[in-house]
Structure 1
């Protein structure tokens, strides 16, 4: 991103689809015109209101649910209430017809996952202990809405760049994750990988919790 900010072309390589998605969304935001950034900011603010007021009316995303179950079985990283909210938000995201806006909204969803989960960052990512779990978790819908508002405000303050950033080795990544599990929460629709799997893989969590 630093190289891009200098108006040059930067290269990056990463095997983590979650990181790739975030990098591409952030670099995209830097290339938007002032008018487009203002337009997308307003759309994200409108989406934040939809998330707060209407998420419960959306169907739970069956493909994401199937991917999660196929990957983790009976392991639970979210309470039933938060998990249901995540599935409904995926359906909300699918209704966004502007790809760039959907990508930015997915970043908002990404940053809301851990606070709403049974996991905690303490050097690495691990399950909460009993005393930590008693403190509860953030509400995913509230966290998602707040993240949308934060990104919308950042778009207004962002300095545009005429630089670019290119990924090295995309074909290998596509081959690795072409597993047919169905669309995930944070990946674009051409990649079949669940957000939960990406989130856990990112932090190399080795713990397993079954109920």
Structure 2
């Protein structure tokens, strides 16, 4: 929601400028366009970036959620599944993936999925976040990212009724409403199961 609002803000800035053609995406070198330049239209592609005075971007990124950190830039790494975990544990490679991208200049990094419940463990590469097994690994990742000037957010995750790939467990949901992607009808959770999910992830 916040990202969309910022994108809309960028669009309004760009539309207010005189129009000049923008090079087609994928051709030539990456282009950095200042909003003081003549911009034809807001084009959000990997090779075109529109920037404006930083003060106009208020409220700051994630401010609606009480995020108090100040980022070095607005480059963000979205959650990327690497399968670098092993036996549901954080590995050196898992940590290095995040730290190296922070060293490369990424201001905000979001980790790949961290299981919040034993039922969320679809395979052994997914790391656990519901016990102390990975506490030292998470601390190492956070320390490395922060030392490189970045900020790290852990992505807490449960596949819910979309857990289709586990060899023995069946998807669960609060109703018989099928999964929107596969149309698999989940097991309807009992009140006790719902309460366990509510009180479990902390």
Fold shared per TM-score above 0.5 = no
Larger strand fraction of residues:
2
- Shorter chain as denominator, the TM-score bin is under 0.3
Quick check: which has more Rg, 1 or 2?
2
Larger helix fraction of residues:
1
* TM-score where L is the length of structure 1: 0.26
* TM-score where L is the length of structure 2: 0.27
Higher RCO (C-alpha under 8 Å, 6+ residues apart): 1
